[in-house]
Amino acid sequence: MTFNTMFLPAYRDSFMSSLSGGVKGGEFSAILMSPLMGIIGLCLVGLLVLGGLWLRSRFLDSGLHRARYTETLSEPSSTYDYVTGLPTRRLFGTLLEQAVGRAAKTGRSLAVLVVELEHFRMVAETQGRANGNVLVRVQAARVKGVVRSTETVARLAQDQFALILDSFTSHEEVVAIVDKLQATIGLPLTLEGQELFLTCHIGVALYPQDAMEHEKLIEQATQAGTRAKSDGQAVQFTSPIIPSGASESVARVSVQTEQEARHS
């Protein structure tokens, strides 16, 4: 449908005449130019400006929120995992470096445990992302419940946790914690009426026996866990654990046997 522009002046004049409502042209112009109309116009302009600024701020806030959320999901420099609230690999490295420094000053030992959930990724894919997050949160809480509140638990990867044990009194205590971790992670978990069971592989590295630097300790514990998985075992220590009451000769034989096994 077209509109003839020739009639625009006529429509405009008719509109202005009806708007004036019988007010004479000069009086109508005076009303339009009155201070009251000026104030009303300024108010309308102000409202439009404020509305535009509000919409702009909302858009920027929303974009910033999305950017921060994306950064939390994908940025490797994030310090806390968005699903579990645990320290990430980056922060874990810093905390472990500090723990190694304290251990060096006090002469105490510490243990680094890397726990990998078996088949977690497959379960997370079949159960969906939301249920996968629930699953990992539950397992994170279980891992934290095994150790003291002062000890560090982190999430290194999607299916990997890490622990720093720096307050144990004997190697037997480390073994007991490892056993408890296995039992706790293996407890059943029900999601949407389906009962799930997860197992895990645990690699353990000790300071100062296995490594003196924090990065090397993480590497040794990770490799021990990989060996446990490839060998079909649940737990692998980087070095053999010698009972506290064992004699020095027994300790030397055990270490020698382990070294020979590595070279063979």
> Per residue in 188-237, pLDDT tens?
988 888 888 889 999 999 999 999 999 999 999 999 999 999 999 999 99
Residues 100 and 195 in one domain: yes
Give backbone dihedrals phi and psi of 213, rounded to 5 degrees, phi first: -105, 150
Whether residue 115 is contained in a domain is answered as: yes
Residues 95 and 44 in one domain: no
CA-nearest of 191, 143, 184 to 165 is: 143
| CA gap 70, 68 in Å, rounded | 5
Confidence band, pLDDT 50/70/90 cuts, at residue 11: very low
Range of the domain at 192: 89-244
Whether residue 162 is contained in a domain is answered as: yes
State whether the Cα torsion 180-186-188-191 is positive or negative.
positive
Q: Provide the whole-model pTM.
A: 0.64
Whether residue 263 is contained in a domain is answered as: no
Looking at residue 128, its pLDDT comes to: 74
Residues 138 and 198 in one domain: yes
Q: Tens of pLDDT along 177-200?
A: 999 999 999 999 888 888 888 899
Residues 34 and 100 in one domain: no
Q: Tens of pLDDT along 132-155?
A: 888 999 999 999 999 999 999 999
Whether residue 101 is contained in a domain is answered as: yes
Give backbone dihedrals phi and psi of 241, rounded to 5 degrees, phi first: -85, 120
| CA gap 115, 225 in Å, rounded | 7
Name the average pLDDT for the chain: 77
| CA gap 165, 49 in Å, rounded | 59
Whether residue 14 is contained in a domain is answered as: no
Q: Total structural domains in the chain? A: 2
| Residue after which a domain boundary falls, among 42, 74, 106 | 74
pLDDT at 252 over 50: no
CATH number of the domain that residue 123 is part of: 3.30.70.270
Q: Are 211 and 217 in contact (CB under 8 A)?
A: yes
pLDDT at 23 over 60: no
Residues 93 and 174 in one domain: yes
Whether residue 112 is contained in a domain is answered as: yes
Residues 117 and 55 in one domain: no
**Residue 39 Cα distances to 30, 52, 86, 155, 234, angstroms:** 14, 20, 57, 61, 79
